[in-house]
A and B are shown apart, each in its own frame.
Chain A
Amino acid sequence: MYNRKTLKKILQYPIFIIFIMLMISIFNLQIIEHDKYRITAENNFLRIKTIYPVRGEIYDRNYQPIVTNKPSYNIYISPGKIIDREKVTDFLSKTFALPRDEIQKVIYENRFRLFQEILILQNVNYDKLVKAAEKFNYFPSLSYKAEAVRKYHYENHFTGHLGRINTHEYDKLRENGYSINSFLGKNGLEKKYETLLRGENGYEIIQVDASGKNLQFFKNNLEKKATNGADLILAIDNRLQEQISKIFPKDRKGAVVLMNPRNGAVLAYVSKPDFDQNIFSSNISNQEWNALINDPDNPLLDRVIHGTYPPGSVYKPIIASLGLEKKIIDARTKLANCTGGLQVGNRFFKCWWEQGHGRLNVIDAIKYSCDVFFYDLSTKLTLDEIKVHTRQNMMTIKTGIDLTGERTGFFPDKKWYVDNYGKYISIEGQKVNLAIGQGEILVTPLQICAYYAALCNDGLWVEPHLFARSITEKRTTRFIQTKKKLPISAENFAIIENSLFKVVNEAYGTGGAARISEPTVYGKTGSAENHMGTETHAWFAGFMREKDSDLAFVVFLENAGHGGSVAAPLARKIIRFYLSL
């Protein structure tokens, strides 16, 4: 339908016209406006500047500081501007006592980031910096900035700490605005609430030339403000933290948790021995670091949620409630006669009280912590029943506290025994041991505390948490809390509560050392044998009801002796201090 001439027009004219237009535009750009772009290019007048947000701080329930930011002088190196690598390395290692290989490693790892400033040293002593700064002229690759560093106000295990971003994290997080020099929460609250604490980057476009004249490449939207991180308000009370640290026996290891049973708020969270989280931002030497990780007392271990231990007798109320719920026993049922032990199968299991308790009902069995009663009760229960019931009481499962790396604990089942001891093992004998919280069962102190909190709360278990609230201009953050009714009837609950009352408040109760005149303390002692030492682990867990300030607590001391004589008196001191606040 077209002749060749029209076809030619259709094909060639548009191409020709558009090429001419392109050439004119390029002429305009490269010849007419050349000077403007040349100057801009030479002086780097146009660039995006990232504005990093200020990290949120952490406070206790009375707005007393736990983690804050403090000014710090940081030294940066630009790998592309290094003139003599050996000389820079020498200078840095001599002036700031930094190992040579570490400096070389940083330079090597960042050898392709030629024009970026790479953080090489954080938190430099100001006097040292002033002396060194004169010589910075000889090393154009070095620069320093005043920035913020974290300050942890006391030794603890829950705040966690910040660490330098690693390559793996950087690849994953760079799109969220992290830079190669970023720090981020590596564990604890710092990690759990990283997004909240960090805030959001802001940006600014620099399009002003040397004389301050706006180059006007862009008309608007030249600044996006950084959103600073939110401050966290914790349920923690610094006064409790301080007091517990002070009265905790100096040479002992262990954990103390105080918790509001009504809402799960953790008021005190102490694991001993503890360590200073500031070491991670203070250029710690390898020797110091090795000393810390090889310390036999393992101060880095958070015993509240990372340590798992046999619970001993503090576990007994769970077995008792199972017996009651299964209607195997009631409040008056007396089981086997305690003669200082009980023969089960071909083995004789000892009671801790060698003289023997005689025949007891469940309330007295808990009060005197008689083992034989629970040995006998266990023979009437299956291992599966015990395991399921334990887990329904939120024991040997994660509590869900807002920290990282919480341990589950452990409860064995038949398969586990067969796998580990062969198929001829007598489950009966293992079960007897488990019934008094011994053997393979392992729990965290926090799980025990949450269980006794639920007992205080009429059987309603609430998830423990450290975080209370965080309010910024833009948003309020809350969390959804798990709550769970423990499998125990009101009637049986009263029996357990009554027995815990007697443990502390009646003559010959094992927990008498924790008794105070007002209000009433309920509790249970535990002395768990373990393979870590000859002394038993000392436990004391319980609660007290006082209008508006109910309290559940666990006091745990590793290999320190009997719960009644070691843990209970400490608990008493802590409760009295708590009441004095």
Chain B
Amino acid sequence: MKNFDWIIFFLLLLLMFSGVFFIYSASSTKVGNVITTENYYLKQILWIIISIIMLFILQKIPYNIIDIFIVPLYIFSLILLVLALFFPQVKGSHRWIQLGFMNFQASELAKLSLILIIAKFLSKSRLSEIAILRTVILFSLGPIILILMEPDLGTALTIIFSVFAILAVSDLPFFYLILFISPLFSIITSFSLLLYGIYIVALILILLRINLSKVVIGFTVVINSFFFFITPIIWNNLKTYQQERILSFINPMHSPFGSGYQIIQSKIAIGSGGLLGKGFLSGTQKNLNFLPEHHTDFIFSVIGEEFGFLGCMFLLLFLFLFLFRISNRILSLNRKVFRYAAVGMLAYLSFQIVVNVGMNIGIMPTTGIPLPFISYGGSNLLINVLAVGLILKFINEKSIFL
């Protein structure tokens, strides 16, 4: 434990226990002098204790042994994802493995094991570009499709983002990332010829700057144009309700009776909090039960309402310090597999934090992603803490291999 990073660990503890505090408030209803609290916060404390024990156990296991379990764990997570599809729906999706005494979200394990297995196989030396792409697509396609079948778009996007983050720091030339990501911009700009024109010129300029051959540049432009032409055709062939669904995902305000209403309520809660907030347990929006998920996905709105701008800033500051510290430490990891895995985990923690806060303040779509370490939820917390535990372990083991 000589190299154990206590700063990361204490920041983690601070975040988790402030989470308990917020969950307590979010699941309490105050009327006059009577406060009714659901028992979520007690369960969360239990999960924190379990998670921390797991974190320390993890430090004692040599990575060689963990390495043996990566492939079985990946296969096991795929089985869980398939099983989850056969469990009854909860709020419109088959995400949960229901064991009676507890429920486990199958995609949580898939996230972690996918990052580990990709890191493991990409870290082999002298992989060709094709081999890298083949590995990544081979491993990530299964979990992503299964998670989309649940359906859980938020988690699928988190995974895609993490995989791209790993690719970005891998040996894969940067051009491939441009090739994969650029069609997305073509789709977005496809509704306006002018915007698309500007975008495609900019793309060619960037590609020219990294000194690529004309054949490669031509190929990229052709791919982009293909998406530019195909998007309006697909869009017009969608049923009205499918179009509606996509529009309300991009812009929740499009559906005033559904997600748009929740987002507005969340914005009202946060906005009405002001500089200092309304005080612990005193959120009026929360007490009136306007938001359905205030102890999970919308916990940030409770924080914003009761602790105000200062509370939000402190929370964001600690989250940022936490991520910043991790990103600083993992740069010094000398084993590729550690670096890749750590970047993947850092990416998905950051993605979840940003998307959740963004959703609460109404600048990002509603995806059902909880706020890591803060939101209520056992399996989510456990997997997030295990991810941090692995990062800590990588930092810890560094010295042994140097």
Could you list which residues of chain A lie within 8 angstroms of chain B, going by C-beta atoms? 1-2, 4, 7-8, 10-12, 15-16, 18-19, 22-23, 25-27, 29-31, 33-34, 36-38, 40-42, 44, 46-48, 80, 112, 114-115, 203, 205, 217-222, 224
Q: Is the pair A26, B312 in contact by a Cβ cutoff of 8 Å? A: yes
Separation of A255 and B18 alpha carbons in the complex (Å): 72
* Cross-interface CB contact of B271 among A8, A22, A38, A222, cutoff 8 Å: A38
Q: Is the pair A218, B256 in contact by a Cβ cutoff of 8 Å? A: yes
- Contact status of A42 and B284, CB under 8 A, knowing A11-B346, A224-B257: yes
List, sorted by A's number, 22 A–B pairs whose CB atoms are closer than 8 Å. A7-B331, A10-B169, A12-B328, A18-B350, A18-B354, A22-B361, A23-B313, A23-B316, A29-B361, A29-B362, A30-B274, A30-B309, A36-B271, A37-B268, A37-B270, A40-B271, A47-B290, A48-B261, A80-B31, A218-B260, A222-B256, A224-B257
- Contact status of A41 and B272, CB under 8 A, knowing A12-B324, A15-B320, A18-B354: yes
Q: Is the pair B323, A41 in contact by a Cβ cutoff of 8 Å? A: no
Which A residues lie within 8 Å of B289 (CB)?
115
* Interface membership of B285, Cβ < 8 A: yes
* Interface membership of B29, Cβ < 8 A: yes
* Cross-interface CB contact of A30 among B169, B257, B273, B320, cutoff 8 Å: B273
Q: Is the pair A22, B354 in contact by a Cβ cutoff of 8 Å? A: yes
Q: Is the pair A29, B327 in contact by a Cβ cutoff of 8 Å? A: no
* Cross-interface CB contact of A46 among B265, B275, B343, cutoff 8 Å: B265
Q: Is the pair A2, B169 in contact by a Cβ cutoff of 8 Å? A: yes
Q: Is the pair B309, A31 in contact by a Cβ cutoff of 8 Å? A: yes
| Interface magnitude class on chain B | 35 or more
Separation of A10 and B253 alpha carbons in the complex (Å): 33
Separation of A33 and B362 alpha carbons in the complex (Å): 14
Q: Is the pair B171, A22 in contact by a Cβ cutoff of 8 Å? A: no
Which A residues lie within 8 Å of B261 (CB)?
48, 205
Which B residues lie within 8 Å of A205 (CB)?
256-257, 261
Which A residues lie within 8 Å of B362 (CB)?
29
Separation of A224 and B261 alpha carbons in the complex (Å): 14
* Cross-interface CB contact of B324 among A15, A30, A33, A217, cutoff 8 Å: A15
Could you list which residues of chain B lie within 8 angstroms of chain A, going by C-beta atoms? 29, 31, 36, 168-169, 171, 253, 255-257, 260-261, 264-265, 267-275, 284-285, 288-290, 304, 308-309, 312-313, 316, 319-320, 323-324, 327-328, 330-331, 343, 346, 350, 354, 357-358, 361-363
Which B residues lie within 8 Å of A1 (CB)?
171
Separation of A34 and B270 alpha carbons in the complex (Å): 9
Q: A37-B267, A37-B268 are in contact. List 7 more A-B contacts (CB 8 A).
A: A7-B331, A15-B320, A15-B324, A33-B271, A115-B289, A218-B260, A220-B256
* Cross-interface CB contact of B253 among A18, A19, A34, A219, cutoff 8 Å: A219
Which B residues lie within 8 Å of A115 (CB)?
288-289
Separation of A22 and B171 alpha carbons in the complex (Å): 32
Q: Is the pair B257, A31 in contact by a Cβ cutoff of 8 Å? A: no
Which B residues lie within 8 Å of A29 (CB)?
267, 270-271, 304, 361-362
Name the distance in Å between B28's Cβ and chain A's nearest Cβ. 12
Separation of A7 and B290 alpha carbons in the complex (Å): 44
Name the distance in Å between B178's Cβ and chain A's nearest Cβ. 14
**Chain A to chain B: the 9 pairs with minimum beta-carbon distance, closest first:** A37-B271, A41-B272, A30-B309, A218-B256, A11-B327, A37-B272, A38-B272, A29-B271, A34-B274
